[in-house]
A and B are shown apart, each in its own frame.
Chain A
Amino acid sequence: MKKLVYLDNAATTKTAPEVVEAMLPYFTEYFGNPSSVYSFASQNKETITKQREIIAQALGASTNEIYFTAGGSEADNWALKATAECYKNKGNHIITTKIEHHAILHTCEYLEKEGFEVTYLDVDENGSVKMDDLRAAIRPTTILISIMFANNEIGTIEPIKEIGEVAKEHGILFHTDAVQAFGQVPISVDDCHIDMLSASGHKLNGPKGIGFLYIRKGVKIRSFVHGGAQERKRRAGTENVPGIVGMGAATQRAIHTMEERTAKEIELRDYLISRVLDEIPYTRLNGHPKKRLPNNANFSFRFIEGESLLIMLDMKGICASSGSACTSGSLDPSHVLLAIGLPHEIAHGSLRLTLSDETTKEDIDYVVDSLKEIVTNLRNMSPLYEDFVKKNQK
């Protein structure tokens, strides 16, 4: 097999072997429906409660505030739609940002069609929410603020605690999409005044198809799926027991290894960033230079286009992603890169590299060496670079 360097851990991660091991008995051995009466099956209910405890502990929450879902997108949909429905008598205004995941943005667009008003906050050049803008956006009718904990493309960590304080001060519910942040950075729902939080298993070496929504006690949002008493009647459907066990095991692993793992990732990430910026001209780092996810690096290389770059990297066994339009099927590059003020042609040449605890310094060196060669080749082929060089010669 050719060399494989997987640097797309923000897209998904490898399920950790110990997580798979924890899950396996729940397919063939303990396969019972947790709602059944006999003890063979009903012991699975206790297993689920244990996983809830692990997750609640990781957030400083209570066990019965964790609701399992089929993933991050479902949790985001639930938080927004159910809040809108339940609090519509109080008001019809929601505040979010221009750099949210589409699970938030498209849900907001849907709610706008249903008569809700949504403010999409601008961010600064680093991708950080501007607190003055947030305060200015609040209306008497504002029922919800939904701002991501950390951005999936550029890695910027938002000032969640300050946002939570503003929300609390005004008596507005605060939801955060923590799909990229959960397990990567410490989170306390009480310190940050978070009322709802979405997370997903497969971003932290857990399985796909499982996630959860944290709902603070007292927040009265309705059932998302009707048809059973599962998840305190708020999300019906026979529990995905192996998935829930995987989610619990992945959370435990992520919390247990966080300090050491992220310290190592930060060191390698900064090494990657400094090598790329030092050795490849006309390149910029996107996202906050310091307040960013431990494993995220996002660059724009001028004069070249992202999809070409991805294919060339793929030839060398390097897995990465780009905010280029050509990778999304539309003509516009990533909404996040445009929101931080990048011109279209520079946003097209973006590259996201996201590390894992398995990434080595050798991997980074191999990637940077490959990038140098590929960027040079693509620039030699680029009419934009030709024009730029000719203009500078004049």
Chain B
Amino acid sequence: MYTEKVMDHFQNPRNVGEIENASGVGTVGNAKCGDIMRIYLDIDENQIIQDVKFKTFGCGAAVATSSMATELVKGKTIYEALKVTNKAVMEALDGLPPVKVHCSLLAEEAIHAALWDYAEKNGLQIEGLEKPKSDIHEDEEEESEEY
């Protein structure tokens, strides 16, 4: 059901991990629906994304879109990164099954959320960037069960 590119990015995801003291971190999605993406950006003084890492809880498509999205924004300016749409991520992966299109939206939102965090930390306003819609609230998602 997945293209070769999706399978490749799922099996060998690029840029998995965390960045300590990242310039911006964005987390979107929620565990209830089965996918959460977190993107870390390291942005230099010229507003170029020097490094990017991600962590994702989700299906094969969610992991692959996160991986591809990080590849597409790496080395770009924040304005170029802002233009990386879900459509671009999907095209780069040679398409996704219709039921998985929302995964690519999540990747776009995760980048926007990380850029928003960067802008807030630096007191900047990035033209064209809106406040992310679905940041999860960690404290509200307390795990109730213990094993």
Contacts and interface: CB of A to CB of B under 8 A. Distances in A.
Contact of B31 (A308, A342, A348): A348
B35 A305 contact: yes
Interface stretch (A167-175, A212-220, A362-370, A377-385): A377-385
Contacts of B55: 381-383, 386
A308 B7 CA distance: 11
A304 interface: yes
Contact of B57 (A304, A329, A333, A343): A304
Contact of B147 (A282, A329, A380, A381): A282
Interface residues of B, number: 31
Contact of A331 (B7, B34, B138): B34
A64 to B, nearest CB: 46
Interface string B67-95: 00000000000000000000000000000
A303 interface: yes
Contacts of A346: 145
A326 B36 contact: no
Contact of A307 (B7, B36, B59, B144): B59
Interface in A380-394: 380-388
Contacts of A1: none
Given A324-B34, A325-B33, A346-B145, A387 B58 contact: no
B37 interface: yes
A278 to B, nearest CB: 13
Of the candidates A283, A284, A307, A385, the one having the most CB atoms from chain B within 10 angstroms of its own CB is A307
Contacts of A380: 16
Nearest to B103: A326
B145 A382 contact: no
Contacts of A326: 34, 58-61
Interface string B21-59: 000000100011111111000000000000000011111
A283 B147 contact: yes
A136 interface: no
A385 B38 CA distance: 12
A308 B58 contact: yes
A5 to B, nearest CB: 19
Given A305-B59, A385-B57, 12 more contacts: A302-B147, A305-B58, A311-B7, A324-B59, A325-B33, A326-B58, A326-B61, A342-B145, A346-B145, A381-B63, A386-B18, A387-B138
Interface of A: 282-284, 302-305, 307-308, 311, 315, 324-326, 329, 331, 333, 342-346, 348, 380-388
14 contacts: A302-B143, A303-B57, A305-B57, A311-B60, A326-B59, A331-B34, A342-B145, A343-B143, A343-B144, A344-B32, A344-B34, A345-B32, A381-B55, A383-B55
